[in-house]
Structures are given as structure tokens and as C-alpha cells.
Amino acid sequence: MSEEIKTIQEMENDPSFWAAVFNFGRKKIDESIIQANWRSVYLNYISSNPWKEKCKMIKKTRGNKCQICGSEKDLQIHHNTYERLGCEDDNDLVLLCKPCHFLFHGREHVIF
């Protein structure tokens, strides 16, 4: 029996890959290791095609407007929870403009 072998790019474009990465991390890896690598894994995820497609869908279904102030500029997707990161429910995500996103986190300005 032959099993299909996926390339890294194919895996990164598969939402179930990201869900497995985060679920494995939660269950099997020491918390300090998860925290040390969290930013790297998260940044890779939000650079992935599945995340980009999810963002397009959220923007479209929510009218391309900030859900707080109605602005159509500098829109970003905010996670209400990271519990289902990689396989988020629509309710896990909020469409915000950059200024409202900063305020949502209790900061006026954030430098990335």
C-alpha cells in the first residue's frame, strides 16, 4: 500500500496541518517550549495561504468594514481565542481596523 507524501508547501496550505501543529503542541510539548516557539509558529501560520483565504472570506462576509468603527482602512483580523488556531470558527475572529485593533489590546501604538 502506497501512502501519498506531501511537500512542505502542500502541508502548509492545508488547514488541518496547522490544526495538528497547534494541537500537538498543546498536548505533547512542554509549555516553555510552546511559549518559546509560539511567535515563530504563529507568524508562519498567518503567512500561510489558508490564513490568507480565511481573512479574505471574513472581510467579504463582514462587509470590508471594522466591526467597531466602520472604517474601511487598514483592516486586520483579530483572534478572540487561539483555542482553535488553524481551524478557527468564524466567531473566533473579529475584523478590525488597525487603530481599533490596537485599542482592543489596550495599546495605542504597537510596533511590529
Give domain limits for the chain.
8-104
Write the pLDDT tens digit of every residue in 61-109: 999 999 999 999 999 999 988 888 888 888 899 999 999 988 877 765 4
Contact indicator for 76, 98 with CB cutoff of 8 Å: yes
Q: Which of 18, 77, 62 is nearest to 44 (CA)?
A: 18
Q: b/e for 73-102, b at 16 or more Cβ within 10 A?
A: eebbbeeeeeeebbbbeeebbbbbbebbbe
Q: State residue 63's pLDDT score.
A: 96
Note the pLDDT of residue 45.
87
Determine if residue 26 is left, alpha or beta; phi over 0 gives left, psi from -120 to 50 gives alpha, anything else beta. alpha
- The tens digit of pLDDT for each residue in 16-55 reads 777 766 665 555 445 665 566 777 878 888 899 989 999 9
The CATH architecture to which 8-104 belongs is 3-Layer(aba) Sandwich (3.40)
